[in-house]
Structures are given as C-alpha cells and as structure tokens.
Chains A and B, each alone.
Chain A
C-alpha cells in the first residue's frame, strides 16, 4: 500500500515539475521584461542595448525575430534609419542559427533595402531567400512589396507572380500537418481569395510599370473578382489605387473615378482623395465643384445598414430599423 502511494506521489511530482517547466518559459518572461525595459529606457542607444541583450541571450526563441523587428522600429525614428538598422542586424546576425529566424532577418533586410532604394542589395537578398528553398508566402510578398518601393519592377513582377503559387489550399494548410481548428473550409477559401487579390494587384501594377499595361489591367480585373472588400464594399489593399493610377495615366478619368469612388468617399484616405481630385480635374479642367461632386457621389454610393438587433440595459431587444426616419450616430465602444 505504502509503496504504491509513494510511487504515485513520485509520478505526480514529476508531472508537476514538467508542467511547471512548460509554463515558465524563460524566453517569454525575458521578452516581456525586455519590452517593458525598452519602454522605460530614455535613449535610442539604451533601447537598442536592451534588445541586443535579449537577442544574444535567446538566439533561438520564438521571440527573437520580434526583438529584431522591435529594434528596427526603434531605429525608424533615428536619422539614417536604414543604415543603422542594417548595422544592428549585422551585429547580431552571426549569433543566429535557427532557419526560421534567419529567414525573418532576411525579410527585415529586404524591407530596409526597399525603403532605402537599394535595388542591388534587394536583388541579392531575393536570390539568397529563394536559394534557401524554404520561402513562404510572407517572404515572397515582402520581396514584392520592397521591390515596388524601390521601383525594381522586374523583381516585383517575379515576386508577385511567384507568390500566386502560395495562394492555394496546400500552401495555407499543408497536407499531413496537424490542422489548426481556425482553418474551417470557409476560412481557407477566404484566405485563398485574399492571397490571390494581393498577388494579382501587385503583379498587375508591376506589369503596368513595365509598360505591359493591357496585361496589368487583366490582372486588376482578376484581382477584383476576389472581392477583397470591407463591409460596404470598400476596397482593401492597393488594388483600387494601382488601378486608378493606371487609368489616370491612360486619361480614362471616368474609369479612375469609378475605381476610387468608395475609397475616396467612405475611407477618405489622402491618397484616394488626391487621385480623385486629379481625375476630377482631368474631366472638368478645374477644381470647382469638387466638394459637391464628392457629396453627390456619397449619395449615390451610400448603402443601407443591415437591420441588427442589440439589447438595452433593461434586457429588451432593440432593432436598428426602429430608428428609421431619424438621423442616427451609431458608435461602437467599450469602457476602459
């Protein structure tokens, strides 16, 4: 009797220790501390030292890549951010050996080369990344976007075209791998469409910039079919911006206006509005009446809100449709 219970106690203790070891992940604790120390640190140099310290102590952690990203972000506020960031990465790179982390570092470098206009370096890192044989969607997309930034259009085309190969079920949920419950059929299809939309938009823009405008437009149409839009149909991503820019170049002002409409009116982002004004000026040879024009477009494009039901604090249902006839400001919030 006593022997059995001692054994049981032994097993129980062992299990407790094993679980405790899992819960206390030292790298996570150190990363949390690093983040908090960085916030408190006053100079950029101090912040960087804290980040570097973490990376050197934990070169193989799931947080190492994040720490490098944090350092790049800190340096984005310094002068010469691209140079300084590349210097920082150079100072820690030799300590790293995990393939995923090394690829993440290459992505960071690609982004820096892109924003720094360093086409040659970007092309080199693209070769390194593809030679590794383990490129993922995010890697090739990063290359494409960096290429667009520094106007390396041949690389942009190659990357976005290549990225289409990852807009598949197999790339999103590799067969044989244990599936995350997130990947329901609906979510897989959504993800495929999202990837196709992003890839085709980028590919189209690269083609346009390479002078292959007709092929570019075909890509834009194909991207549009993936319906990468928000509620109200407001386009997400760059498709409508790229498309409108192309149409403006072709002096198709009505076409550009159509592509910009929802974004300009309901997103109100500066780029959409600037392009909309250009299209308007192209069409009417002036700026007058632009505000009226935007207002009329808003009236044209406004969609009715779905009738949803909420609940009041007395526990009764409240339907939005009960407010018909009133002007309503609907605000979603939460108390902090």
Chain B
C-alpha cells in the first residue's frame, strides 16, 4: 500500500489504516519495520461494537475505497488490502472524477 500512497498522495489520495484491536505496541513496530508513512489510527475503547455494527461483523469488508463525496465505491473482504492492481485502477478512476 505504501507505493500506491506515495504515487498518488499529491493528487488527493489518502490511506487510513485502523487497527481495530488497539495493539499499539505491535502496530508501531510493524509501521516502523515496514517504513509506512500513511495515516494509522485505532478505534477507541468501547467502539468495538461501533466498528462491527457500522462496518459489518465477521468477514466484514476490511478495505473500503471512498470517493471524494464520502461514498463507498469499492470494498474488499478479507485480511489483505486486496488486488493491488485493481485497487490502483480504481484509485485512478476515482481521482479523475
């Protein structure tokens, strides 16, 4: 995800990664080890229910691509970010709109 972020961030593209287990120590280690520079957040205490009710429960889509108006244009289920090539295509499309 870092390469796609670097490539398009000056065109108004943002990546937001939310650690929904709030494992801050491990998260920070992972970020540092991989040299990731996009935005990392975590959900707040008591918001586990919010995450699962707003974003769905088990097998919930873990990757959302959101257009400039805040509309969800693509989503991907599973614990990878999804097909990088496909995602990049979609990002380009959405940036051009």
Give the interface of A toward B (CB within 8 A): 230-232, 266, 298, 302-313, 317-318, 320-321, 323-336
Contact = CB atoms under 8 A, between A and B. Distances in A.
Contact of B54 (A304, A306, A328, A331): A306
A309 B42 CA distance: 10
11 contacts: A298-B74, A302-B67, A304-B72, A310-B16, A312-B39, A323-B66, A323-B70, A327-B12, A329-B14, A331-B64, A334-B20
A336 B20 CA distance: 12
A308 B20 CA distance: 13
B6 interface: no
Given A327-B95, A329-B15, A335 B23 contact: yes
A335 B27 contact: yes
B72 to A, nearest CB: 5
Contacts of B69: 304, 324
Q: Is the interface of A mostly helix, strand, loop or mixed?
A: mixed
Given A310-B47, A333-B62, 12 more contacts: A231-B53, A232-B75, A298-B73, A302-B71, A304-B69, A306-B54, A312-B41, A313-B28, A331-B64, A332-B51, A333-B79, A336-B26
A333 B64 CA distance: 12
Contacts of A308: 47, 50-51, 54
A323 B13 contact: no
B16 A329 contact: yes
A327 B13 contact: yes
Contact of B40 (A232, A302, A303, A313): A313
Nearest to B97: A327
Contacts of B47: 308-310
A231 B73 CA distance: 14
B65 A266 contact: no
Interface string B30-63: 1000000001111110010011011110001111
A321 B64 CA distance: 14
B42 A304 contact: no
A329 B87 contact: yes
B16 A311 contact: no
Nearest to B93: A295
B7 interface: no
A309 B70 contact: no
Contacts of B74: 266, 298
The 8 closest A-B pairs by CB, nearest first: A335-B26, A310-B41, A334-B21, A302-B71, A328-B66, A231-B56, A330-B64, A327-B94
Nearest to B68: A325
B65 A327 contact: yes
A327 B72 contact: no
Contact of A333 (B4, B17, B56): B17
Contacts of A327: 8, 12-14, 65-68, 91, 94-95
Nearest to A335: B26
Contacts of A318: 41
**Which residue of B12, B21, B70 has the most chain A CB atoms within 10 A of its CB atom?**
B70
Contact of A304 (B16, B24, B40, B70): B70
Contacts of A312: 39-41
Contacts of B4: 329
Given A231-B55, A306-B54, A329 B70 contact: no
Contact of B64 (A305, A309, A310): A305
A311 B13 contact: no
B70 A332 contact: no
Contacts of A324: 68-70
Contacts of B17: 331-333
